[in-house]
Amino acid sequence: MKEAGLLKILVQEKALVKLLKTIGTGKEYPTRVLLTKLGAYGYGHKMLLKAEKRGLVARKSVKNKVFNKLTEDGKKLVKLAREIGV
């Protein structure tokens, strides 16, 4: 994803940025634990699916759990958000 696209997400989708920062770089969270940590089940899950659709989060199923991990674009967005101070 181009830098301009990442900047657009930073400006328009603050909740999505918060979700990505919660996941963090190098970590992998089950969906239920992640949504509990965020404190938003319904809206948080919609944001998680939106992040997956945009290619920022990779989701994989293991037994009964769905694990969420940042993709390279997601890591770039988190890094950019930290540099800017968002």
Contacts within 8 Å (CB) and 24+ apart, 39-48: 43/15, 44/19, 47/15, 47/16, 47/19, 48/19
Provide the domain limits for residue 38.
Answer: 3-84
Report pLDDT digits (tens) over 36-85: 888 888 888 999 999 999 999 999 998 889 999 999 988 988 888 888 88
Chain CA centroid to CA 75, Å: 9
Q: How far apart are CA 79 and CA 52, in angstroms?
A: 18
Q: What CATH number is attached to the domain comprising 29? A: 1.10.10.10
Mean pLDDT of 5-31: 83
| pLDDT given at position 57 | 93
pLDDT at 86: 74
* Overall domain count for the chain: 1
